[in-house]
Every structure is written in structure tokens, then in C-alpha cells.
């Protein structure tokens, strides 16, 4: 397993613990936390244009995989 893959897996696992995760995409820092919305777990994103928006797991996964702070 490459180092970048391990860091991505750690961020995804950390998010599932209910803690906030910060990621950086296109120079904007976003904070993601998981909450139950209408009985379904969603990622609540704050920062940038997504202030308080609930996104599904696939979108959150793609955001974490393209995190610029992991590419350094």
C-alpha cells in the first residue's frame, strides 16, 4: 500500500468515528463531519460554497481522495 493510499484510508476511517476531518480542495479548506439526516448517514460539509450542505458518501470519498494536503 502506498503512503497516499494509507493516508486516505486513515481520513476516511477517522470520519466514521464522528470526528471532524479537514480537507483542502482547489485552495479551499473544508470541514466534514458525519450526521444522520432523515435516517441516513451523510457528510455535512462546511467551508467554501458548501456551508452546511449534506453530501452522500461517494462525494465525500472523492473529496478525501483529491485532498491537496495529502499530496505534499
Single pTM value for the model:
0.81
Q: What is the pLDDT along the chain (72 residues), one digit of tens a residue?
A: 788 899 999 999 988 888 899 999 989 999 999 988 888 888 999 998 878 889 888 999 999 999 998 876
The domain of 36 spans 3-70
Residue 13 in grid coordinates: 476511517
Q: What is d(CA 33, CA 45) in angstroms, rounded to the nearest whole number?
A: 7
Helices assigned H by DSSP within 1-56: 3-16
- Pairing between β-strand 40-46 and β-strand 53-55 as defined by DSSP bridges: antiparallel
Nearest Cα neighbor of 31 from 43, 42, 39, 41 is: 43
Total domains, the chain: 1
Q: What is d(CA 16, CA 60) in angstroms, rounded to the nearest whole number?
A: 12
Amino acid at each position: 500500500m502506498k503512503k497516499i493510499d494509507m493516508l486516505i484510508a486513515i481520513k476516511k476511517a477517522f470520519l466514521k468515528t464522528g470526528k471532524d476531518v479537514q480537507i483542502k480542495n482547489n485552495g479551499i479548506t473544508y470541514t466534514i463531519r458525519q450526521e444522520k439526516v432523515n435516517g441516513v448517514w451523510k457528510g455535512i460539509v462546511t467551508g467554501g460554497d458548501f456551508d452546511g450542505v449534506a453530501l452522500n458518501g461517494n462525494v465525500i470519498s472523492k473529496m478525501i481522495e483529491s485532498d491537496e494536503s495529502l499530496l505534499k
